[in-house]
Structure 1
Amino acid sequence: MTEKLYQMCTRCVMDTTDPDITFDEQGVCNHCHQFDTVTTKRWFPNEEGKQRLAQIFNTIKNERKHYEYDCILGLSGGLDSSYLALVMNEYGMRPLVVHVDAGWNSELAVYNIEKVIKYCGYDLHTHVMNWPEIRDLQLSYLKAGVANQDVVQDHAFFASLYHFAVDNKINYVISGGNIATECVFPKNWHHSAMDAINLKAIHKKFGNLPLEDYRVVSFLQYYFYYPFLKKMKVVRPLNYMPYNKELALAELQEKIGYKSYGRKHGESRFTKFFQNYYLPTKFHMDKRKPHLSSQILSGLMTRNQALDELSKPLYEENELREDKYYLAKKLGITVEELDEYVSSPGHDYSEYPSWDSRYVLMKRMQSFVSLMSGRNVKNYS
């Protein structure tokens, strides 16, 4: 049996593993065109960005000067959020730092979080999730066979962050999300991690324990309650500066003794396995491709450098064996059962109830309001 050949973009490294990808006559894909025509209009890696960011932070400081904290910052121990913490320290911001421990932290993640907090002098609130519930929900997702296995962690992280912000009357959430390394993302690859309807449906079918401590964010909360009633605003400071991961890592290593994970999302043992083995094996999705393509488009690397990275193995054999054993033991299953979850046929999220119909209705309402008011009304995201 011959390996399937995929057509690759001539500018970045995205290919037809994204079923929605299209190419122009020169072989350049729609992701590149989207970057040129849309994304660059909200990306400011220059002096203008520096001025905009200073203005944003000054506005937050002025609004929050009578409160203990300016904002809330989620810290995973990963490179983006760790570097962002240092940036905010340089600007004199006073964030309440929140870390959500869903049970998959690597030892390095704990070490790096401690180093960041000590250097910046921030207050840290660690929310430790109920492991039996996390385990039951994670197994439900493995049994469901959907692509985005990280929903369990991602939803827990954002839900905890938003609920904690509201409980503490903080309406600014600072995010490490950034265009420089994340601007390319095939929408067909994953469904939104914030879809609580989909999450509950999967757990209802495959789970065994009630989710008593696992808090979710509903559709109305995500799109209406938080942004409109609670006036919550999400700020992504890394989009207002020239963000280079290698330079950020070097600065973190020099200033706080930060230790590299060696690969993206190495702060989570499960995410590392999910992205580097589960997705490529079960769905032929190599998340290095959008990540590297983002860096090509933002000028952080050349296409040849990206192709060289793609030629390297996703996992070393011994490392994969160790991670399989660790995950299986922690989930209370055998390695053989874990292998079966990976090798069994994949399923689309749409096979389970979701918020899709509500989302379509919301977009129609959004378009109507924009048309009637003559303004571009944006939903919370």
Structure 2
Amino acid sequence: MARGYQVCTRCVMDVSAADITFDASGICNYCTEFMQRSGDIINIDSAERNLRLSKFVDQVKVDGAGKQYDCIVGVSGGVDSSWVLVKAVELGLRPLAVHMDNGWNSELAQSNISSLVKKLNVDLYTHVIEWNEYKALMQAFFDSDVIDVELLYDNAMLAVNYRMAAKYNVRHILSGSNQSSEGMSIPAGWNWFKYDRKNIVSLARRASVRIKTFPLLGTLGYIYFTYLKRIQWESMLDLMPYDKAAAMQALQVGFGYKPYPYKHYESIFTRFYQGYILPEKFSVDKRRVHFSTLIMSGQMSREAALQDLENIPYPSERALTEDRQYFLKKMGWSESMLENYLSRREQHHAAFGSEIGLWNFCMKVYRTVFKKC
């Protein structure tokens, strides 16, 4: 029996998430789980939050004493990572800003990053992946019809930040990830395991793509950096009050920051992927997760989210047309190639080889050992 349409009465998650459930009041499992997991972080007493932040900053300074940098901040040009860099400097930390360039940066993202590091007087390292290699890897993902083409960027970004932390013997990577603006779980099937080196290699091999400059990271690499090199990703924004709109305004006033319409739209491809490919090919609108998180953290009204969801996930039809043409030209596709791609059936990542089983096994062993200790 086909499932009828239903949307949560508290957030805006709906039945496009295959595993969504609703209670008698129409409230979904996604926002319920979010509040159970993140409520204490969002609603923490200000004095306790300040104490935790102070202890964290002191620890970063102690661990970084005598080193060129005491932390790494991965910057994309988006609000969250930009605000982390600003706050790190304000708190007296000595960050190295790290950016991963996959050839899809918007001019706006480049401008935002350049203005930020210049005014903050921090060093910036940019890792550039050779474009033809990255393009070929993207094509391999498109040809395989798997959903998470952004696995390529996310995996490379993780690898670059870990490598730079190891190079400078830094133990803390300050992330823009946070519970108040992106803490809700992504539905199963909307993305893929981000440390899946094997999946990337398998898809590349299937398309006869040689990996030379792409900085791969897998389960064993994660174990090496995390447990042997003792490098930790830290969600510093969870240790302070964080209002995304207020942060954006402060960035605009203080650093000439230019905002984006939706989360992660600082990348032209991410904008086209989330705003067009995901909805058209996979029936996924990630705005539902992003808006729902903002609703639950009190930064957006449900009414405003529902109204925005009535619109296309783009600033305008004109912007969509421009990005579509840019994508076709950069990838060397014709209109018919794009339409053919969009019409094909989705394939699961695991069908092409994956190390998610290895990851789950290692995490199970870790939890077992940790409990015994």
> In structure 2, what is the equivalent of residue 323 of structure 1?
323
- Which whole-Å CA distance do the structure 1 matches of 2:283 and 2:201 have between them? 26
Alpha-carbon distance, 1:317 to partner: 2.8
> In structure 1, what is the equivalent of residue 180 of structure 2?
180
> In structure 1, what is the equivalent of residue 351 of structure 2?
351
TM-score (norm 1): 0.93
Letter matched to residue 306 of structure 1 = A
> In structure 2, what is the equivalent of residue 21 of structure 1?
20
- Which whole-Å CA distance do the structure 2 matches of 1:292 and 1:156 have between them? 27
> In structure 2, what is the equivalent of residue 202 of structure 1?
203
- Which whole-Å CA distance do the structure 2 matches of 1:99 and 1:88 have between them? 16
> In structure 2, what is the equivalent of residue 365 of structure 1?
365
Structure 1 residue runs without a partner (length 5+)? 374-381
Alpha-carbon distance, 1:4 to partner: 8.5
Q: After alignment, is 101-110 or 145-154 more displaced?
A: 145-154
- In the alignment, does 2:220 pair up with 1:227? no
Deviation per CA, 1:278-336: give whole Å up to 9, x if none.
11111111000000000111111221121111112223332222111111111122232
Q: Is the 8 A contact 2:98 2:124 kept in 1?
A: yes
- In the alignment, does 2:220 pair up with 1:251? no
- Which whole-Å CA distance do the structure 2 matches of 1:255 and 1:104 have between them? 26
Deviation per CA, 1:112-131: give whole Å up to 9, x if none.
01110011100111111111
- Which whole-Å CA distance do the structure 1 matches of 2:5 and 2:184 have between them? 18
Deviation per CA, 1:34-73: give whole Å up to 9, x if none.
1222222444473322221121011111221211101111
Alignment of structure 1 residues 26-41 onto 2, 5 Å: 26-41=25-40
Q: Is the 8 A contact 2:12 2:302 kept in 1?
A: yes
Distance change in 2, residues 1:279/1:238 (3 Å)? same
- Which whole-Å CA distance do the structure 2 matches of 1:276 and 1:63 have between them? 41
- Which whole-Å CA distance do the structure 2 matches of 1:359 and 1:219 have between them? 6
Hey, which bits of structure 1, 4+ residues long, moved more than 6 A?
none
- Which whole-Å CA distance do the structure 2 matches of 1:251 and 1:238 have between them? 15
TM-score (norm 2): 0.94
Letter matched to residue 120 of structure 1 = L
**Secondary structure of the corresponding residue to residue 38 of structure 1:** helix
Q: Is the 8 A contact 1:324 1:338 kept in 2?
A: no
- Which whole-Å CA distance do the structure 2 matches of 1:158 and 1:335 have between them? 33
Aligned CA RMSD, in angstroms, stands at 1.7
Letter matched to residue 341 of structure 2 = Y
**Matched residue pairs, number?**
369
Q: Is the 8 A contact 1:117 1:124 kept in 2?
A: yes
Alpha-carbon distance, 1:370 to partner: 4.0
Q: After alignment, is 14-23 or 350-359 more displaced?
A: 350-359
Distance change in 2, residues 1:282/1:366 (3 Å)? same
- Which whole-Å CA distance do the structure 1 matches of 2:120 and 2:364 have between them? 45
- Which whole-Å CA distance do the structure 2 matches of 1:217 and 1:255 have between them? 36
Letter matched to residue 192 of structure 1 = F
Deviation per CA, 1:87-126: give whole Å up to 9, x if none.
1111011001111111000000111011100111001111
> In structure 2, what is the equivalent of residue 342 of structure 1?
342
> In structure 1, what is the equivalent of residue 93 of structure 2?
93
Q: Is the 8 A contact 2:18 2:187 kept in 1?
A: no
Alignment of structure 1 residues 3-152 onto 2, 5 Å: 6-43=5-42, 44=44, 46-152=46-152
Structure 2 residue runs without a partner (length 5+)? none
> In structure 1, what is the equivalent of residue 237 of structure 2?
238
- Which whole-Å CA distance do the structure 2 matches of 1:265 and 1:357 have between them? 29
